[in-house]
Structure 1
Amino acid sequence: MSKKLVAFYSRADENYVSGMLKNLDIGNTEVLACMIKELTGADVFKIEQEIPYSKGYNECVEEAREDQRKDARPKLKKNLESIDKYDVIYVGYPNYWNTMPMAVFTFLESFDFSGKIIKPFCTHEGSGMGSSAKDIKKLCPNAKVESGFNVYGSRVNSAKKDLEKWV
């Protein structure tokens, strides 16, 4: 039996949900990560930047856009020592500017994913996976990157049946 990991980036605070700004206690991607943990028994690791983005949605959007423009690799609050014991790694994130938040790039570049299976999952409000799966393949060329799962952030609480099929 393979050992699984759910590594995810998620953002609570003010978010864009169903066409309006709404404060979330738990980010949408974290909701999915918890469902995957429940379905698979995987270990969980939350990817967090040492210096988080602003709590306000519009400020966060601009900070994330600037990090992407700079091709930044934000320092993480903490990281795993190793991913050696994992065979399957679910990598989750919200779609930021057509790809993953730059902190996810930092995480992926921290390890050798050779021989690993990566299953990306993404929350969004209309932009789907964007180029994130292609970006993961570039960052982890010796991993098997499987088809991703994406869902509107506003619909995560009703996504369990579709998530079960994908898992």
Structure 2
Amino acid sequence: MIRAQRHHYNLVRRHGQRIVTYAMAEATDISFRWWDSDRFDRRWRRRMTELSGPKWHAFKDDIELVACTYPDIVALAGLFASPHLRFLPFTGKERDLRQFIREVRERAATGYSLDAAGKRDPLIRWIEEEPSDRSLPFYPWRPPGCPAPEQVSVP
């Protein structure tokens, strides 16, 4: 948990609070949807057993579950916060998509594969919805090749 807190702090230092907050929200949403479908939660369940004993029971807002999921959520948020990694699925290159999925597998979802993911998989839905999210006024990233917004000077 301490390592995850340091990682979170470093993400904020590197990318800024706004970007990391947005990335944490996305990572939390995806992670808890995986939890709801009993996918990629082995590490969480192991941590819960270590923290609360073998007969633990938790709801999404239980502090124990939040503590046990935090390391994986921060790791996935690190992927989303990185402008380079975030836009890999959208380059049109198969190798970039494979690298993105490899990063997801290594960071937060051991065993994740596109072949096994269905249309309702939260990461697949994120990939489908992300391009339209770029038009939202609070979207904090600029896709590669997009010019910086014009600076308006105030007299």
TM-score normalised by structure 2 residue count? 0.26
Q: Which has the higher helix share?
A: 2
- In our comparison, the structure showing a higher alpha carbon Rg is 2
TM-score normalised by structure 1 residue count? 0.25
